[in-house]
Structure 1
Amino acid sequence: MLLASCASCVLAAALVASTPAAAQSARPAGSGAARPAGALAPAAAPGAEAASATNAQGGTSADGTDNADAPTSAFDARQKALDQRTEENNYRYGVAEHDCYSKFFVNYCLNKARDSMRSVQADIRKEQLALDGEQRTQRARERDEKAALKRAQDEANAPQRAAEDARNAQAYEDKQRQHQLDQAQRAAEAPQRSANEQAYQEKQRQHALDQAKRGVSPSQAAANQQAYDQKQADFQRKLDEARAQGAQKAQERVQKQQSFEKKQADAAQHKADVQARQKQAAEKAEQKRQDALKQQQIEEQQKQQQQQQ
């Protein structure tokens, strides 16, 4: 019996030492006297807890102001309160179990303390399940709102996408027609190019004959031809550079025009998004007001029924 008492004392001391500081300091600040070792910690007032839950769910603080993150902060506060109640329940059970070993009917006292602990634990479990259900409902509501907003954005962007697809299709058709025109033009210019090539070869042969008549040596004629070719290459290079610069400037103008059109489209889309969000916010506010009026009417009807009874 002595060994059992010592073991129980060691167990109770371990439970008391492992109790969180928040549970140990649960006594009222204005009590002025320490609570006895065997006394249970006072539970939170039901009215205060209900008022706190109501303020948290409604998104309003104690002074009636709206909170932006009311659902999340309310769930966190309620979860913290449940965790604290669980710790206090475990602490009270540890203290009661320790006190039972100093009484005559030990088993009766232990069973009673265990039943009390389990009753409180069942209440906490019930509230925990309700809180988890509300959190799941809130997350589902947020997912639905995000999906609705995404659908609204897609519907608002549908005309712009259709216009963009139409412009791309029209541009592709224009390029195809231009390519066919270029091919037809090259085919029509083929005989002229052949005639020009023959005329050039004839000029080259006539130039060689003239050089021979003037007594120009082949080496000198090759040097002259090389200098002429170099001048032609330099002229062609400058001509290509000028064309490249012109094409680059034309491309820059097109890019600037596209950037301007994109900015205009983004501004119009932003305006549409803002109007859609404002409309949704107004609808939500109206729905909230209607729900509040319905709840107020239900409460008034319940009060009238209670007064009639």
Structure 2
Amino acid sequence: MFRSPPTTLPISRFSVALRAAQVAAAVFALPCIALAQTAPAPDATSQPDTHAEAPLAASMPSNAFDARQKALDQRSAQNDYTYGVAVHQCYDTFFVNTCLGRARDKMRDVKAQIRSEQLSLDDERRAARAQQRDEQEALRRVQDESEAPQRAAADERNAQAYEEKQRQHALDAAKRNAEAPQRAQNQAAYDQKQADFQRKLDQAHAQAAQDAKERAERAQRFGQKQVDAAQHKADVEARQKQAAQKAQEKQQEQLQQQEQQKQLRQEQQDSE
């Protein structure tokens, strides 16, 4: 059987690159194949009824959305893996391009279905979040309405307290204004008292300085008197000593004169 030459690019380099990509896709998708195979594959021709599932999605918990999202991710990985395997097998067939086209179309159909389900899931998730927000907003409104009397009472109490503070502030200001002349008089009296005290203090300091000066002068005069007394005593003692010396000298002169007269008389007697 004669085999027509391929109308596509040579397969050698392309097949090597494709096989490497298929191996990578297989390694990525293998952990998801078992879970994907356990779930029944939906019909490629069927379309999801978005409006029928919307009320259910509104009350569906977030973990249900996560499970559906995980299933879609697994189906997408399985579709890529299946397409890689189909492409690999097409190169062992006679009509390679036809086989590749059918595999690509099948992959695109499944991808489109997964995309449609993904959009539906996103819509349901947004609807559920919107309903959750609406419910929370409704609960907040109910809570706000239930707490409105308490808030109104609290606002009234706060307003009354503020008005009371304002009145008290006005009374305090009026009292301060009324007491201003008395405070001014008291301040003037206090200032006068302080001035008198300062004047007396200055006078006391001046008197203390004067007393200290007088004490110093008296001490100086006393010291001078002591010096003068000592000098006078020394002068008296010196004069007394000088007088005693003069008296002694005079006594000696008298004794000498008496001795001389005695000698003269003796000489006169001897000469007679």
**What TM-score comes out, normalization by structure 2 length?**
0.53
**CA shift for structure 1 position 185:** 3.0
| Cα distance in 1 for residues equivalent to 2:13 and 2:79 | 22
Residues paired across the two proteins, number: 185
Aligned to 1:6: 12
Contact 1:23 1:91 in 2 (8 A): yes
- What are the Cα deviations for residues 203-253 of structure 1, in whole angstroms up to 9, with x where unaligned? 959xx9xx9xxxxx9326988xxxxxxxxxxxxxxxxxxxxxxxxxxxxxx
What percentage of aligned pairs have identical amino acids? 36
The structure-2 alpha-carbon separation of the partners of 1:101 and 1:190, relative to structure 1 and needing over 3 Å to count, comes to closer
**Can you list the C-alpha shifts for 1:165-220, whole angstroms capped at 9, x where unaligned?**
33123212221222212212334x368648x839x66x959xx9xx9xxxxx9326
Find the counterpart in structure 2 of residue 186 from structure 1: 180
Judging changes above 3 Å, is the alpha-carbon distance between structure 1 residues 176 and 150 closer, same or farther for their aligned structure 2 residues? farther
Q: Distance in 2 between matches of 1:84 and 1:170?
A: 70
* AA matched with 1:197: A
Q: Hey, what does 2:107 align to over in structure 1?
A: 117
Residue pairs, 1:25-174, within 5 angstroms? 25=31, 42=37, 44-45=39-40, 71-152=61-142, 154-155=144-145, 156=147, 158-159=151-152, 160-174=154-168
**Unpaired runs of 5+ in structure 2?**
43-47, 209-272
Looking at structure 1, the residues matched to 106 and 135 of structure 2 have their Cα atoms a distance apart, in angstroms, of 44
Structure 2: distance between partners of 1:58 and 1:148: 15
Is the 8 Å Cα contact of residues 22 and 84 (structure 1) preserved in structure 2? no
Q: 2:189 aligns with which of 182, 197, 213?
A: 197
Cα distance change on mapping 1:27 and 1:149 into 2, 3 Å = closer
Q: Partners in 2 of 1:79 and 1:222 — Cα distance? A: 105
Pair member with larger Rg: 2
Distance 2:96 2:16 in 1: 16
Structure 1 match to 2:169: 175
TM-score normalised according to structure 1 size: 0.48
Please give the per-residue CA displacement for 1:244-282, whole angstroms capped at 9, x wherever unaligned.
xxxxxxxxxxxxxxxxxxxxxxxxxxxxxxxxxxxxxxx
Q: Where do residues 149-298 of structure 1 align in structure 2 (5 Å cutoff)?
A: 149-152=139-142, 154-155=144-145, 156=147, 158-159=151-152, 160-187=154-181, 189=182, 193=186, 197=189, 204=196, 218-219=203-204
CA contact (8 A) 1:16 1:91 kept: yes
Closer/same/farther in 2, CA of residues 191 and 15 from structure 1, 3 Å limit = closer
1:75/1:131 contact within 8 Å kept: yes
Q: Unpaired runs of 5+ in structure 1?
A: 30-40, 60-69, 212-216, 224-309
Higher relative contact order (CA 8 A, sep 6+): 2
Q: 1:179 to 1:154 in 2, by over 3 A?
A: farther
Give the Cα–Cα distance (whole angstroms) in 1 for the partners of residues 78 and 207 of structure 2: 109
- Partner secondary structure for residue 19 of structure 1: helix
Relative distance call for 1:91 and 1:219 in structure 2 (3 A) is same
Counterpart code for 2:175: L
